Structure 1
Amino acid sequence: MAIATYTLVALDCREPESLARFYAAVLGGEIKQYDEDWYDLYAPGGHRISFQRAADHQPPKWPQASSDSQQLHLDFTVTDMDRAQEEVLALGAKALDLDDQDGERGFRVFADPAGHPFCLCRE
Protein backbone atom coordinates (compact mmCIF):
# COMPACT_ATOMS: atom_id res chain seq x y z
CA MET A 1 0.00 0.00 0.00
CA ALA A 2 1.29 3.45 -0.91
CA ILE A 3 2.29 5.83 1.82
CA ALA A 4 1.53 8.98 -0.15
CA THR A 5 -0.02 10.33 -3.34
CA TYR A 6 2.01 12.33 -5.84
CA THR A 7 0.93 15.98 -5.97
CA LEU A 8 3.43 18.14 -7.87
CA VAL A 9 6.99 19.14 -8.68
CA ALA A 10 7.97 22.61 -7.42
CA LEU A 11 10.75 24.58 -9.09
CA ASP A 12 12.58 27.34 -7.28
CA CYS A 13 13.15 30.40 -9.45
CA ARG A 14 13.51 34.17 -9.26
CA GLU A 15 10.39 34.94 -11.36
CA PRO A 16 7.67 32.32 -10.86
CA GLU A 17 5.08 33.92 -13.12
CA SER A 18 7.37 34.11 -16.15
CA LEU A 19 8.64 30.56 -15.63
CA ALA A 20 5.05 29.29 -15.32
CA ARG A 21 4.28 31.01 -18.63
CA PHE A 22 7.32 29.39 -20.27
CA TYR A 23 6.17 25.90 -19.27
CA ALA A 24 2.56 26.66 -20.21
CA ALA A 25 3.79 27.56 -23.70
CA VAL A 26 5.75 24.28 -23.85
CA LEU A 27 3.11 21.97 -22.36
CA GLY A 28 -0.23 23.77 -22.54
CA GLY A 29 -2.49 23.91 -19.52
CA GLU A 30 -3.78 26.52 -17.12
CA ILE A 31 -1.78 28.75 -14.78
CA LYS A 32 -3.21 29.58 -11.37
CA GLN A 33 -1.61 32.06 -9.00
CA TYR A 34 -1.61 31.12 -5.31
CA ASP A 35 0.17 34.30 -4.25
CA GLU A 36 2.91 36.53 -5.66
CA ASP A 37 5.55 33.92 -4.78
CA TRP A 38 3.79 30.74 -5.99
CA TYR A 39 2.23 29.82 -9.35
CA ASP A 40 0.83 26.46 -10.42
CA LEU A 41 0.62 25.05 -13.93
CA TYR A 42 -2.10 22.46 -14.35
CA ALA A 43 -0.85 20.70 -17.47
CA PRO A 44 -2.96 18.43 -19.67
CA GLY A 45 -3.15 14.90 -18.31
CA GLY A 46 -3.58 16.05 -14.71
CA HIS A 47 0.05 16.88 -13.99
CA ARG A 48 0.94 19.88 -11.86
CA ILE A 49 4.17 21.88 -11.81
CA SER A 50 4.60 24.69 -9.32
CA PHE A 51 6.96 27.64 -9.40
CA GLN A 52 8.17 29.12 -6.13
CA ARG A 53 10.01 32.41 -5.76
CA ALA A 54 13.53 32.01 -4.42
CA ALA A 55 15.26 35.38 -4.69
CA ASP A 56 18.73 33.84 -4.47
CA HIS A 57 18.10 30.88 -6.79
CA GLN A 58 21.22 29.76 -8.65
CA PRO A 59 20.74 27.39 -11.57
CA PRO A 60 22.76 24.18 -11.62
CA LYS A 61 25.92 24.12 -13.72
CA TRP A 62 26.00 22.25 -17.01
CA PRO A 63 27.76 20.10 -17.69
CA GLN A 64 27.80 19.12 -14.09
CA ALA A 65 31.01 18.57 -12.24
CA SER A 66 31.26 15.63 -9.86
CA SER A 67 30.66 18.01 -6.94
CA ASP A 68 27.57 19.60 -8.54
CA SER A 69 24.05 18.31 -8.89
CA GLN A 70 21.35 18.96 -11.49
CA GLN A 71 18.98 19.37 -8.51
CA LEU A 72 16.26 17.86 -10.72
CA HIS A 73 15.30 17.68 -14.35
CA LEU A 74 12.07 17.23 -16.29
CA ASP A 75 11.55 14.97 -19.32
CA PHE A 76 9.03 15.74 -22.07
CA THR A 77 8.16 13.35 -24.91
CA VAL A 78 7.89 14.92 -28.38
CA THR A 79 6.85 13.57 -31.77
CA ASP A 80 9.06 15.91 -33.84
CA MET A 81 12.38 16.57 -32.11
CA ASP A 82 13.64 19.25 -34.50
CA ARG A 83 10.40 21.23 -34.41
CA ALA A 84 10.15 20.96 -30.62
CA GLN A 85 13.76 22.14 -30.31
CA GLU A 86 13.07 25.21 -32.46
CA GLU A 87 10.00 26.06 -30.43
CA VAL A 88 11.55 25.76 -26.96
CA LEU A 89 14.56 27.80 -28.07
CA ALA A 90 12.19 30.50 -29.42
CA LEU A 91 10.48 30.55 -26.01
CA GLY A 92 13.77 31.29 -24.25
CA ALA A 93 15.23 27.87 -23.48
CA LYS A 94 19.00 27.48 -23.71
CA ALA A 95 20.56 24.48 -25.47
CA LEU A 96 22.81 22.47 -23.13
CA ASP A 97 23.46 19.21 -24.99
CA LEU A 98 21.99 18.70 -28.46
CA ASP A 99 24.18 15.78 -29.49
CA ASP A 100 21.58 13.03 -29.60
CA GLN A 101 24.11 10.82 -31.42
CA ASP A 102 22.16 10.73 -34.69
CA GLY A 103 18.98 9.77 -32.87
CA GLU A 104 20.62 6.87 -31.04
CA ARG A 105 20.43 8.54 -27.64
CA GLY A 106 16.87 9.78 -28.14
CA PHE A 107 16.98 12.99 -26.09
CA ARG A 108 18.36 16.52 -26.08
CA VAL A 109 19.05 18.63 -23.02
CA PHE A 110 17.99 22.26 -22.51
CA ALA A 111 17.72 24.74 -19.64
CA ASP A 112 14.54 26.70 -18.97
CA PRO A 113 14.84 30.50 -18.57
CA ALA A 114 15.62 30.05 -14.86
CA GLY A 115 18.36 27.50 -15.63
CA HIS A 116 16.63 24.20 -14.69
CA PRO A 117 17.61 21.39 -17.05
CA PHE A 118 14.92 19.56 -19.02
CA CYS A 119 15.01 17.00 -21.80
CA LEU A 120 13.05 16.63 -24.98
CA CYS A 121 12.76 12.88 -25.55
CA ARG A 122 11.82 11.03 -28.72
CA GLU A 123 8.47 9.28 -28.54
Structure 2
Amino acid sequence: MIATLQCTVIDCPDPAALARFYAEILGWRVDESDPDWVTLTAAGGQRFAFQRAVDHRPPRWPDPEFPQQFHLDFDVPTRDDVERAREHVLALGASFLHDSGGRRSGFLVFADPAGHPFCLCYGQLA
Protein backbone atom coordinates (compact mmCIF):
# COMPACT_ATOMS: atom_id res chain seq x y z
CA MET A 1 0.00 0.00 0.00
CA ILE A 2 1.28 3.45 -0.87
CA ALA A 3 -1.70 5.56 0.19
CA THR A 4 -5.05 5.56 1.94
CA LEU A 5 -8.28 7.03 0.71
CA GLN A 6 -8.72 10.56 2.04
CA CYS A 7 -12.23 11.18 0.72
CA THR A 8 -14.47 10.80 -2.30
CA VAL A 9 -15.05 14.07 -4.17
CA ILE A 10 -18.25 14.74 -6.09
CA ASP A 11 -18.38 17.58 -8.62
CA CYS A 12 -21.64 19.54 -8.60
CA PRO A 13 -23.03 23.04 -9.17
CA ASP A 14 -24.01 23.69 -5.50
CA PRO A 15 -21.71 21.91 -2.99
CA ALA A 16 -23.55 23.01 0.15
CA ALA A 17 -26.96 21.90 -1.10
CA LEU A 18 -25.70 18.50 -2.26
CA ALA A 19 -23.78 17.94 0.99
CA ARG A 20 -26.94 18.69 3.00
CA PHE A 21 -28.87 16.22 0.82
CA TYR A 22 -26.42 13.39 1.61
CA ALA A 23 -26.14 14.48 5.26
CA GLU A 24 -29.88 13.81 5.62
CA ILE A 25 -29.41 10.30 4.21
CA LEU A 26 -26.32 9.41 6.25
CA GLY A 27 -26.61 11.56 9.38
CA TRP A 28 -23.08 12.89 8.86
CA ARG A 29 -21.79 16.36 9.82
CA VAL A 30 -21.56 19.09 7.15
CA ASP A 31 -18.72 21.65 7.04
CA GLU A 32 -19.70 24.56 4.79
CA SER A 33 -16.79 26.84 5.76
CA ASP A 34 -15.65 26.96 2.10
CA PRO A 35 -18.62 27.36 -0.28
CA ASP A 36 -16.65 25.82 -3.17
CA TRP A 37 -15.51 22.74 -1.18
CA VAL A 38 -17.99 21.36 1.35
CA THR A 39 -17.20 18.24 3.37
CA LEU A 40 -19.42 15.65 4.96
CA THR A 41 -17.84 13.67 7.82
CA ALA A 42 -19.03 10.54 9.66
CA ALA A 43 -18.42 9.91 13.35
CA GLY A 44 -15.86 7.27 12.29
CA GLY A 45 -13.97 9.76 10.12
CA GLN A 46 -15.14 8.72 6.63
CA ARG A 47 -15.55 11.74 4.36
CA PHE A 48 -17.19 12.93 1.19
CA ALA A 49 -16.28 16.27 -0.35
CA PHE A 50 -18.46 18.24 -2.73
CA GLN A 51 -16.61 20.52 -5.14
CA ARG A 52 -18.16 23.32 -7.18
CA ALA A 53 -18.05 22.57 -10.90
CA VAL A 54 -19.32 25.59 -12.80
CA ASP A 55 -19.78 23.71 -16.08
CA HIS A 56 -21.10 20.51 -14.49
CA ARG A 57 -22.91 18.24 -16.97
CA PRO A 58 -25.14 15.94 -14.93
CA PRO A 59 -25.38 12.31 -15.97
CA ARG A 60 -28.57 11.00 -17.57
CA TRP A 61 -28.78 7.41 -16.42
CA PRO A 62 -28.68 5.13 -18.37
CA ASP A 63 -27.83 7.30 -21.41
CA PRO A 64 -24.19 6.55 -22.45
CA GLU A 65 -23.94 10.03 -24.02
CA PHE A 66 -24.14 11.42 -20.44
CA PRO A 67 -22.41 8.70 -18.35
CA GLN A 68 -23.06 8.39 -14.64
CA GLN A 69 -19.38 9.04 -13.71
CA PHE A 70 -19.89 7.27 -10.37
CA HIS A 71 -22.74 6.19 -8.14
CA LEU A 72 -23.30 5.49 -4.47
CA ASP A 73 -25.06 2.43 -3.05
CA PHE A 74 -26.81 2.74 0.32
CA ASP A 75 -27.91 -0.46 2.08
CA VAL A 76 -31.28 -0.68 3.82
CA PRO A 77 -32.34 -3.95 5.52
CA THR A 78 -35.67 -4.82 3.84
CA ARG A 79 -38.08 -3.88 1.06
CA ASP A 80 -40.31 -2.22 3.72
CA ASP A 81 -37.36 -0.10 4.88
CA VAL A 82 -36.48 0.88 1.32
CA GLU A 83 -40.04 2.10 0.75
CA ARG A 84 -39.69 4.45 3.75
CA ALA A 85 -36.26 5.51 2.50
CA ARG A 86 -37.74 6.17 -0.97
CA GLU A 87 -40.22 8.65 0.46
CA HIS A 88 -37.49 10.36 2.49
CA VAL A 89 -35.03 10.84 -0.40
CA LEU A 90 -37.84 12.08 -2.68
CA ALA A 91 -38.83 14.62 -0.03
CA LEU A 92 -35.18 15.74 0.10
CA GLY A 93 -35.17 16.45 -3.64
CA ALA A 94 -34.08 13.18 -5.26
CA SER A 95 -35.66 12.03 -8.54
CA PHE A 96 -36.76 8.43 -9.00
CA LEU A 97 -35.17 6.66 -12.00
CA HIS A 98 -35.65 2.86 -11.77
CA ASP A 99 -36.92 -0.03 -9.63
CA SER A 100 -35.18 -3.39 -10.11
CA GLY A 101 -38.47 -5.03 -9.11
CA GLY A 102 -37.04 -7.61 -6.73
CA ARG A 103 -39.23 -8.73 -3.84
CA ARG A 104 -36.55 -10.07 -1.45
CA SER A 105 -33.52 -8.20 -2.77
CA GLY A 106 -32.91 -5.47 -5.27
CA PHE A 107 -32.33 -1.79 -5.65
CA LEU A 108 -34.05 1.48 -6.44
CA VAL A 109 -32.16 4.01 -8.55
CA PHE A 110 -32.51 7.74 -7.94
CA ALA A 111 -30.76 10.91 -9.05
CA ASP A 112 -29.59 13.33 -6.38
CA PRO A 113 -30.49 17.03 -6.82
CA ALA A 114 -27.40 17.55 -9.03
CA GLY A 115 -28.29 14.57 -11.27
CA HIS A 116 -25.88 11.92 -9.91
CA PRO A 117 -27.39 8.43 -9.72
CA PHE A 118 -27.49 6.59 -6.39
CA CYS A 119 -29.15 3.37 -5.27
CA LEU A 120 -31.10 2.26 -2.23
CA CYS A 121 -30.26 -1.45 -2.00
CA TYR A 122 -32.24 -3.97 0.07
CA GLY A 123 -31.88 -7.63 0.97
CA GLN A 124 -28.19 -7.63 0.03
CA LEU A 125 -26.66 -7.07 3.46
CA ALA A 126 -23.97 -9.54 4.44
TM over 0.5: yes
- Aligned partner of 1:76 among 55, 74, 77: 74
Secondary structure at 1:60 match in 2 = coil
Q: Residues of 2 paired with 1:64 and 1:121: CA distance?
A: 21
Contact 1:24 1:43 in 2 (8 A): no
* Aligned residue-pair number: 120
Give CA-to-partner distance per residue, 1:83-111, whole Å, 9 cap, x none. 0111001100000112x223355111100
Cα shift readout 1:1-56 (whole Å, capped 9, x = no counterpart): x1210111111111101111001011101111352200000034432111000111
Q: Post-superposition, which runs of at least 4 consecutive aligned residues in structure 1 deviate over 6 A?
A: none
Cα distance in 1 for residues equivalent to 2:118 and 2:38: 19
How many Å separate the matches in 2 of 1:83 and 1:104?
Answer: 16
Amino acid at match of 1:84: A
Cα distance change, pair 43–103 in 1 and its aligned pair in 2 (3 A): farther
Q: Which runs of 5+ in 2 are unaligned?
A: none
- In 2, Cα distance between equivalents of 1:69 and 1:4: 28
TM-score with structure 2 setting the length: 0.87
Native 8 Å contact 1:27 1:44 kept in 2: no
Separation in structure 2 between the aligned mates of residue 94 and residue 36 of structure 1, nearest angstrom: 24
User: Could you tell me whether the CA contact under 8 Å between 2:61 and 2:67 is conserved in 1?
Assistant: no
Aligned residues: percent identity?
54
Q: 1:38 to 1:49 in 2, by over 3 A?
A: same
In structure 1, stretches of 5+ residues that fail to align are: none
1:56 matched residue in structure 2? 55
CA RMSD of aligned residues (A): 1.6
1:27 maps to 2:13 = no
CA contact under 8 A between 2:98 and 2:110: conserved in structure 1? Answer: yes
Question: What are the within-5 Å matches in structure 2 for residues 1-123 of structure 1?
Answer: 2-65=1-64, 67-79=65-77, 80-98=81-99, 100-103=100-103, 106-122=106-122, 123=125
